[in-house]
């Protein structure tokens, strides 16, 4: 703890004083959230004036618990997971003071939802091969291209966007990172209906979209470094959620086992016990990862956690369908809706099974994440990359 920094006990008193001055039952929701941000009790590890107090990140859970116990409104984190889990830490790390002042407060309060314009039809796993172009025009950049698999783009106010600014350079070096206004002329959002029948995702077309240079994050050509920080945070956001022992999908599947004794077999029992142990190992590993994150930016450990999350979800949802027998083939509703969030525990088994198929794609495919773990964690030889030093314009498209 640095000189002048609050102690944990002083932080507790500050939370108590805030709640005494802003009774949740008597304060309008948005007003309450804005006041909490201004008091530095939004992200306590962020700097003062930017929603925080410069305190250890590990103390955030105690602050959240105190607000929850007081019946305070939250900022609906599931509905703005991309903003909170990915955009905010990227803006904090690479944004100017003016950008932090403009974007962080309404992002945290939920007044402005964010989406991510990274993947393209021809650049998913090989994100650095993207072809969306950004060309300088005075104080603006003019963007043209197509993005895909964009969650909540249909209701997002802003997007984090990576585009190619110099095709003469190798693919990783000619990229720049921007904040895109999703209400700007030339932004077109179309739904993508998925296997669940819903449309969480979208394809986004960018036709001569103008972005002021003041909405560039990082230096020109630094886009890959900024995007890497975002992706590390994304994997943590997807796989690093706090849960108690026996909670989440493993708890749902264990309940199905208890509720259907007629479906029990030694083979299913053995698989359930193995997955219970693996889920508990993943939970405890996640706790260790969050403790490490409190000391700095996420690294490749998020890739390992995301790998485990995807595999467990798919194996557990498949086991649940086997336990349910014919009932597991039922699907309650095929209506085309646009949900605000993914809900694995509040839906039926058919939804869980189908939706889990996307877990090994979103946030980086499992194949790419295995490369990351192999090279950056285990220190194995790198995969040959013959296009590493070839200008992007000369690559086969």
Q: Which residues are annotated as catalytic? A: 234
- The contacts of residue 268 (CB under 8 Å, 6+ apart) are 257, 319, 322, 323
Helices 97-109, 29-38: axis angle to 10 degrees equals: 140
Whole-Å CA distances, 37 to 31, 49, 53, 97: 10, 9, 10, 16
What Rg, from alpha-carbon coordinates, does the chain have? 22
DSSP codes joined into one string, 179-195: EEETTSTTEEEEEE--T
Contact 135, 56 (CB under 8 A): no
- Separation of alpha carbons 397 and 395, rounded Å: 6
Please give the Cα distance from 296 to 73 (Å, whole number).
28
Report how far residue 243's alpha carbon sits from residue 116's, in angstroms, rounded to the nearest whole number: 26
Task: Report the C-alpha gap between 165 and 137 in whole angstroms.
Answer: 12
Q: Which residues pair with 97 in a beta bridge?
A: none
How far apart, in whole angstroms, are the C-alpha atoms of residue 174 and residue 278?
A: 41
Residue 166: Cβ within 10 Å count: 17
């Amino acid at each position: 703890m640095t000189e002048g920094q609050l102690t944990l006990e002083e932080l507790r008193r500050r939370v108590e004083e805030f709640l005494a001055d802003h009774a949740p039952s008597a304060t309008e929701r948005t007003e309450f959230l804005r006041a909490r941000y201004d008091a530095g009790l939004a992200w306590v590890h962020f700097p003062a004036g930017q929603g925080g107090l410069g305190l250890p990140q590990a103390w955030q859970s105690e602050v959240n618990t105190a607000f929850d116990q007081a019946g305070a409104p939250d900022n609906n984190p599931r509905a703005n997971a991309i903003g909170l889990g990915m955009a905010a830490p990227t803006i904090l790390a690479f944004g100017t003071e003016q950008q932090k002042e403009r974007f962080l407060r309404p992002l945290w309060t939920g007044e402005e939802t964010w989406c991510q314009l990274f993947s393209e039809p021809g650049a998913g796993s090989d994100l650095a091969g993207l072809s969306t172009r950004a060309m300088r025009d005075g104080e603006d950049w003019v963007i043209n291209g197509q993005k895909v698999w964009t969650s909540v783009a249909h209701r997002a106010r802003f997007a984090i966007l990576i585009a190619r600014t110099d095709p003469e350079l190798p693919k990783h070096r000619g990229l720049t990172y921007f904040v895109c206004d999703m209400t700007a002329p030339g932004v077109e959002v179309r739904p993508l209906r998925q296997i669940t029948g819903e449309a969480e995702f979208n394809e986004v077309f960018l036709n001569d979209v103008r972005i002021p240079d003041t909405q560039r994050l990082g230096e020109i050509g630094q886009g890959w470094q900024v995007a890497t920080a975002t992706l590390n945070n994304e994997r943590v956001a997807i796989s690093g959620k706090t849960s108690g022992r026996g909670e989440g999908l493993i708890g749902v599947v264990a309940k199905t086992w208890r509720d259907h004794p007629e479906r029990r077999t030694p083979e299913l029992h053995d698989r359930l016990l193995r997955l219970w142990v693996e889920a508990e190992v993943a939970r405890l590993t996640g706790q260790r990862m969050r403790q490490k994150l409190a000391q700095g930016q996420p690294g490749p450990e998020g890739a390992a956690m995301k790998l485990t999350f995807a595999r467990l979800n798919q194996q557990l949802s498949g086991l649940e369908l086997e336990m349910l027998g014919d009932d597991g083939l039922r699907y309650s509703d095929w209506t085309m809706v646009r949900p605000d969030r993914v809900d694995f525990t509040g839906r039926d088994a058919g939804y869980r099974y189908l939706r889990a198929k996307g877990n090994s794609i979103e946030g980086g495919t499992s194949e790419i994440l295995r490369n990351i773990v192999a090279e950056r964690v285990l220190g194995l030889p790198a995969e040959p990359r013959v296009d590493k030093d070839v200008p992007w314009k000369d690559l086969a498209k």
